[in-house]
Amino acid sequence: MPRLSRLSAGLASAACLLAFAWLVPGCGSEPTFDAGVDYTPASLAEELVFRAKNLAPSARKAEKKRNAPKTKTSPGYVPPPETKGQSKTQTKKAEIQTLDDVLDDVEDKARRIHSMPTPEVFKQMADAVSKDSTLDAADRDAIVAKLNEMAAAASQ
């Protein structure tokens, strides 16, 4: 009899464990994330300022023109990665060296915000950067000018 009761107890505990795992919602499933949810104009502006401050002084010059709209037919167009994981691996491969690289990365993230028009995202970022007092005035003005160029290009 003791062997039968041990077997019964084991089966009962296994059944309880399986029932608990089945009742817990989302248990064992892979979570899905929307890449645009993580980004807001304010958070991107803060990231831009932080990354610009950490660049070498010689690398804080943005020489690339940003007034051309980015469309699939534009020369040099690179489609955005489909998942957040791909985005991280791409940024790890290409080390950020200049302000142009930082602006390209932030621009890609800004285009993933679908809750508002892209020109409005860039305008809000420019407004947030212009209020930042931790950057040098020249660097701040250069970044704001580039963000305004990106807003104008996105509205075309």
Average pLDDT rounded to a whole number, residues 119-141: 92
Q: Where are the domains of the chain?
A: 35-67+80-154
Reported as a single tens digit per residue, the pLDDT across 10-55 is 888 877 777 776 666 655 566 666 554 578 999 999 999 999 998 8
Within a 13 Å sphere around the CA of 121, how many CA atoms are in the beta-carbon half? 22
Q: Assess whether pLDDT exceeds 70 at residue 91.
A: no
Cβ atoms of 96 and 51 within 8 Å: the answer is: yes
Average pLDDT rounded to a whole number, residues 2-17: 77
Find, among 138, 145, 77, 142, the residue nearest to 111 by Cα.
Answer: 77
Tokens of 3: 């062997």
Q: Assess whether pLDDT exceeds 60 at residue 82.
A: no
Residue 5 pLDDT grade (very low, low, confident, very high; cuts 50, 70, 90): confident
Residue 96 pLDDT grade (very low, low, confident, very high; cuts 50, 70, 90): low
